[in-house]
Amino acid sequence: MMIISKIPPFYTIILISIFIYSCKKDDLSENITYNQNSESLEEYVYNVNDLSDYIYDQSKLHRFDILISQENLNLIDNDPTAEQYVDASFIFEDKIVKDVGVRYKGSIGAFVGCLSGPNWSNPSGYKTCPKLSMKIKINYKNDKKFYDLKKLQFHSQNLDPTKMRERLGYYMFRNFGIPAPRSNHAVIFINGEFSGLYANTEQIDGPFTNKNFINKNGNLYKEVWPVNDQGQSNSIDYFISGLRTNEEISDVSRIKKFSDELADKDYSNSWNVVQNYIDKDIFLKTLVVDRRIANDDGFLHFYLSENGQYENHNFYWYEDPITNNFQIIPWDLDNAFENLVIDSNPVTPIKDKWYEISNNCSGFSYGIFNLMQKSAACDKIIGSFKDFTESYYQIDSIFTETLYNTQKINMLIDTWSNQIRSSVINAHKKYENNEPSEQVWLSSLNNFKNLIDLSLKTN
């Protein structure tokens, strides 16, 4: 399974008595009263000195005010899974960014329990939760940027009572030298009304790859794997379907070459090909972080899909245009940390260690729901790293000694929890049982710390 119009003339009327920023930067008060319309706001114009690092600064809790007509808000509320962009604007630090697109985003994990449809595994219907994950497309109408970004993403964290999984997971990847999105928290208001606390997580796109890789402008692919679950090559159309940059050219010859060469090798000789395309140390480091944070809904989980094949998801590949190397990029960490010690999530648990094989590489059922999965080590790419388990554990020791340890993690969680505490309290005050109370949140944080500590002691 895969946990897979112009603003109308009355728009400014809607903005009367909503958000006109004459307050100090990052003012998060819910009690600010505004009595002007959007025309009095200075329009934001991108400046080369506006760096995206500011948007994802770990010391900041930014506030974004989304302005959208009631008609457009009703449109996306009535069918969030359509993921249809509608016209909107937003205010950030005294300036308005006009003509952007806004939509809800997500898959099963993001929508579960939040739509009116009867089948949680096939999300449908209108919005029933106070908030849903959202995406803002800056270049919706014009080729423009906001702090060097083309998109903003605000993740609802509806299923995370700690409000920390995403931020901590990406922090660990990035600070261990693995390209991954930046993430902090943000407070969102919609048409003057407090919407809630969100994870402000960077979009993986062209601006992301250009910032994170020395050799820029390479192909970026989403959720396509070089070979299928039988080790056979995938088609050109398959790879084109995963392109997220350079779509107008659609030259996928490099990844197709990797796919064909890997398909021509039997399982035992796959490393002879993989070593030419994937950096051993970076991939091992990625495995270390992935396993330490129990990212069980990531690229190591091969689910049985509707087409009868075992497929993984929640990852991107970056294809270096000079070296032809491929770097995997982790994505969608909202379920990370859940299965640290016991299998708490009924859908995502992975049975094997990444280098272990069960059922002779045939699929098998596992977990409370008896869902079918296949050992990751059966894949020619992942399996080719089995001979480097000693190096893997050496890297793991470095990771736990320098970064992923109880002292460091508790310090980060304490700092970030102080930053978002008032927003958590305000969310519960407004939405009651739809958001955790301060007591429940603090208890969840304490349990989160204890589970991480226990996992470090037992693994």
CA atoms within 13 A on the CB side of 186: 27
Listed in sequence order, the residues at least 6 apart from 268 whose beta carbon sits closer than 8 Å to its beta carbon are none
SS3 content of the chain, % helix, strand, coil (to 5): 35, 20, 45
Pick the closest to residue 257 from 224, 226, 229, 290 (CA basis): 226
What one-character DSSP code corresponds to residue 433?
A: G
Residue 203 tokens, joined: 């979009």
Radius of gyration of the chain (CA): 22
Residues of the chain with pLDDT under 50: 1-26, 32-36
| Residue 202 and residue 182 in contact, taking contact as beta carbons nearer than 8 Å | yes
Positive or negative, the CA dihedral 70, 76, 79, 85 is: positive
Res 38: pLDDT: 62
Q: Can you name the residues that pair with 63 across neighbouring β-strands? A: 187
Q: How many CB atoms lie within 10 A of CB 124?
A: 14
Amino acid in position 83: E
* Dist. CA 192–CA 368, nearest whole Å: 43
Q: How many CB atoms lie within 10 A of CB 48?
A: 7
Residue 117 tokens, joined: 């449809």
* Dist. CA 70–CA 332, nearest whole Å: 30
Q: Residues 302-327: pLDDT tens digits?
A: 999 999 999 999 999 999 999 999 99
Residue 195 tokens, joined: 């919407």
Task: Return the domain boundaries, the chain.
Answer: 11-203, 213-398, 406-458
Pick the closest to residue 285 from 403, 181, 376 (CA basis): 403
Listed in sequence order, the residues at least 6 apart from 417 whose beta carbon sits closer than 8 Å to its beta carbon are 164, 442, 445
CA atoms within 13 A on the CB side of 309: 13
Res 113: pLDDT: 85
Residue 302 tokens, joined: 């091969």
Res 111: pLDDT: 84
